[in-house]
Each structure stands twice: as C-alpha cells, then as structure tokens.
Amino acid sequence: MRQTKDLRNRVAALRLLAVVGLALPLAGCFQPVYGPGLGGADMRATFKSIKVEPVPGRLGHYMTEELRFLLNGTGEESAPKYRLVIEFAQASQTPLIDTVTGRASANTLYARADYKLLPVNANSTTTPAAQGFVVSLADYDRVSNRFANVRAARDAEIRNAKALAEQIRTRLAADLAGK
C-alpha cells in the first residue's frame, strides 16, 4: 500500500515537472491583446485614436454608435491616427412559411460589413492598416401583428449591428497587435 502511494507521488511530481518544463520555453511568447504590447503600445490608446466614419442607414447608425462605444467608451477625445471606413450590405430571407395562412412565420436578417482601417491622411493608393469583412445573421419570429413584426425586425437589426461591431473590434485588435 505504501509503495503504491509513493509511486503515485513520484508520477505526479514527474507530470508536474514535465508540464513546467514544456511551458517554460513558451513563457515569453504570450501577451494579452488589450494590455501593453512588446513595444510599449497600449491597445486601448490605439483604439481611442480610431475615428469611425459615419455609416449611412439605420443599421449603419447602430453599428457606428456601437463601434464608437467599443473603441472609446470613455468619451475622451484624442487625436485620430486612423479612420475606419465601413460599407455594409443587408438582406432578408424567410426560411419558414405557414402552410395554412401562406405567410412567413420566421425571418432571417443577413448583414455583411466590409471595413478598412486607413491612416488619417491616407490617399486612394495607401494600403490599409487592416481590412476585411464580417458577417452576422439574426433570426426573428413573425406574427400576425404588423407592429410586432416591425419591432422584431428592428431588434434583429440592432443585434446584427452589435455583433458586427464586436467582430470588427476583435479583428482590429488582432491585426493591430501584430504590428
């Protein structure tokens, strides 16, 4: 019984030693995305220096305001180094139709946003600091009440705008952290 206990303790110690031995060379490889970078650059300060260009339309308004909050939630003004230009497309699809009434019983809103992060004084030939696209889908149920459908569609637009803004912020953080 005692030999089994000693053997378990030795195996546990060897496992711990192996884990520490494997993790030690990687200790300097990881850094937090939103903390100070290797060059001393702070991601929060970089986010504050991004000016979000207004996006037209209702979804664009929601997305612009959400991005402004996500990038600079303090309300402090700082000198912009970058400007974020966004173009988006939105579509609607009805995947379910009630066979009795012939009306759609559900709806899916599809939204895609193409973004470019450009230096403030960029011209048309300047390569963006970051660019890409993000996609979001939001479903909602449709009922016989017209006003409930309008409100449900607007709530789905707001959910799409928030999801797109969060995805853009995450992508910008990943792109800017590597530079």
Kindly report, residue by residue over 161-174, the tens digit of the pLDDT: 999 999 999 999 88
Alpha helices (H) in the chain, listed in sequence order:
2-23, 43-48, 58-71, 146-177
| Residue extents of the structural domains in the chain | 1-30, 34-177
> In the CATH hierarchy, which fold is given to the domain comprising 34-177?
Double Stranded RNA Binding Domain (3.30.160)
Please compute Rg for the chain using Cα positions: 25
pLDDT, one tens digit per residue, over 17-45 is 877 777 777 666 666 665 665 444 578 88
Q: Give the global pTM.
A: 0.75
Which band of pLDDT confidence, cut at 50, 70 and 90, is reported for residue 2? low
pLDDT at 39: 46
Beta bridge partners, 97, equal 104
CB atoms within 10 A of CB 144: 10
**Hey, CA dihedral for 68, 55, 117, 120, is it positive or negative?**
negative
Predicted confidence at residue 77, as pLDDT, reads: 78
